[in-house]
């Protein structure tokens, strides 16, 4: 434990470390009282009589158990085990499938049936025959899908494309209209391996030597442009900064704030790191991530290839300890995310949760069109819970140097998750700062705390660049 020196931060602590049981069936042996000759040698009447006698002998007496019955178990346990028989399980699967199909069935009005006259039908038939060169080859039935059946899909796709185009144009405009003459701010479109177009931007100092690189990853529902002031602060100390709007956010492709898989975002980050390093060979590279962006960075850093090419990570309010607003969502999320992935759950969004103590910062955030303010989508929430669970089970594998900062009053991500990260990570260079009374958006807290947090991050980076 290292005591806090002269700093404007009120913290609780600073921690730094370097250096099926088997059932046996009993089958009764049935022995007829009398040996009967072969039925093949008897007349029809004799055969009927013989069969009737055999059945009388095989019929169990009242009150006695059949000697040929298969005895697996007895009493209530036998009836319970019967529920888990192969036939019962098959019936259960059929029932579940029927329910799922019922849920997926579109409840739409009856389609208008257009009657085709015999003359028109014959004409169509003749035209098909002529197109086949007059041959007698049979032509399969022509299926005509009404245009109205797919119109809603085309309308939804067109609406999504327009939304993405509007968001991207706004993101580009903000970059172009940045009038700061001390930095060079540019944007580019990065296409990932799945063919999605991701919006990226960079901040570079006009003067001075470049000492290192910082790759910035925003949190859920926001975008990289929100961290422009922080990026320019890093520029002043010789760091080139690169930001990426991950899928479904900012100027990137995808439904706003919808994430089909955070593993895709992890893959995109790895590709983006490779691109940045190729453009800046020989410079130390660091990653900065906030909230869910920090979780994406952590999972990427567990990859030995990424670990080998980055010098450290800085994490603010990482989504390692994440709890749903109600425990039932943990159970329902995997199911509903498959059936209705884009469904919005208002309760899971923890409506009205304050993320900063600065009213102006809150006003700027929630009036920003590039910031998603709707209820969280089921699939997105499930993916956050899933990546948090994965990280908690693999924290010991983290060997990259890191600095983690977390406010003790954070109501979005649990500070205890950051404590667990610090305690279990195998990194020999790790530091944690618990900031007393601070909320979730640490870089948007009131002054002078905001400035002090930025300076501490830069000091941590400077120490590792100079080594």
Q: Which of these is catalytic: 253, 268, 358, 410? A: 410
Task: For residue 373, give every residue at least 6 positions away whose Cβ sits within 8 Å of its Cβ, in sequence order, or none.
Answer: 221, 366
Residue entry with tokens 């013989």: 50
Write out the two tokens for 22: 């088997």
Cα–Cα distance between 286 and 314 in angstroms, integer? 8
The Cβ of residue 143 has, within 10 Å, a number of other Cβ atoms equal to: 5
Active site residue 410: yes
Q: Are the beta carbons of 245 and 224 closer than 8 angstroms?
A: yes
3-state helix/strand/coil string of 180-203: CCCEEEEEEEEECCCCCEEEEEEE
Q: Are the beta carbons of 217 and 288 closer than 8 angstroms?
A: yes
Active site residue 368: no
Return the closest-CA partner of residue 228 out of 189, 171, 269. 171
Write out the two tokens for 351: 């409506």
Task: For residue 398, give every residue at least 6 positions away whose Cβ sits within 8 Å of its Cβ, in sequence order, or none.
Answer: 298, 301, 302, 421, 425, 426, 427
Q: How far is CA 152 from CA 37, 108, 110, 146, 158, in A?
A: 75, 12, 16, 12, 10
Q: Which of these is catalytic: 202, 228, 291, 317? A: 291
Return the closest-CA partner of residue 377 out of 349, 407, 411, 397. 349
DSSP H helices in 68-207: 75-83, 86-104, 118-131, 147-176
Active site residue 45: no
Which parts of 237-276 are beta strand (E)?
239-244
Catalytic residues: 291, 410, 440
């Amino acid at each position: 434990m290292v005591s806090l020196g002269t700093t404007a931060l009120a913290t609780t602590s600073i921690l730094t470390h370097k250096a099926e049981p088997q059932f046996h069936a009993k089958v009764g042996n049935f022995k007829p009282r009398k040996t009967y000759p072969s039925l093949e040698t008897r007349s029809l009447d004799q055969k009927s009589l013989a069969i009737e006698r055999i059945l009388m002998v095989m019929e169990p007496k009242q009150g006695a158990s059949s000697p040929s019955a298969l005895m697996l178990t007895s009493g209530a346990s036998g009836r319970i085990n019967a529920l888990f028989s192969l036939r019962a399980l098959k019936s259960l699967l059929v029932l579940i499938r029927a329910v799922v199909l019922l849920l997926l069935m579109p409840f739409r009005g009856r389609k208008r049936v257009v009657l085709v006259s015999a003359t028109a039908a014959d004409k169509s038939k003749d035209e098909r025959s002529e197109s086949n060169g007059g041959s007698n080859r049979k032509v399969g039935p022509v299926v005509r899908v009404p245009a109205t059946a797919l119109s809603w899909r085309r309308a939804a796709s067109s609406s999504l494309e327009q939304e993405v185009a509007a968001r991207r144009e706004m993101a580009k405009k903000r970059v172009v209209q940045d009038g700061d003459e001390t930095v060079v701010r540019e944007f580019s479109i990065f296409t990932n391996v799945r063919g999605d177009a991701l919006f990226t931007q960079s901040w570079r100092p006009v003067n001075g030597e470049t000492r290192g690189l910082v790759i910035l990853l925003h949190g859920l529902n926001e975008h990289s442009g929100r961290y422009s002031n922080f990026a320019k602060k890093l520029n002043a100390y010789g760091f080139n900064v690169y930001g990426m709007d991950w899928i479904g956010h900012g100027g990137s492709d995808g439904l706003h704030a919808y994430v089909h898989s955070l593993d895709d975002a992890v893959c995109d980050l790895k590709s983006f790191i490779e691109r940045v390093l190729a453009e800046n060979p020989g410079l130390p590279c660091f990653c900065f991530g906030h909230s869910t962006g920090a979780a994406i960075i952590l999972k990427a850093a567990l990859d030995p290839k990424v670990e080998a090419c980055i010098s450290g990570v800085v994490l603010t309010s990482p989504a390692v300890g994440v709890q749903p607003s109600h425990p039932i969502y943990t159970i329902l999320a995997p199911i509903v995310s498959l059936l209705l992935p884009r469904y919005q759950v208002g309760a899971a969004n923890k409506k009205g949760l304050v993320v900063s103590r600065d009213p102006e910062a809150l006003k700027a955030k929630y009036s920003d069109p590039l910031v998603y303010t709707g209820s969280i989508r089921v699939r997105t929430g499930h993916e956050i819970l899933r990546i948090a669970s994965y990280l908690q089970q693999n924290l010991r594998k983290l060997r990259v140097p890191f600095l983690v900062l977390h406010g003790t009053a954070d109501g979005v991500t649990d500070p205890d998750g950051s404590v667990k990260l610090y305690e279990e990570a195998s990194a020999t260079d790790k530091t944690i700062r618990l900031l007393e009374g601070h909320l979730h958006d640490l870089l948007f807290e009131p002054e002078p705390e905001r400035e002090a947090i930025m300076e501490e991050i830069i000091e941590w980076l400077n120490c590792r660049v100079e080594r």
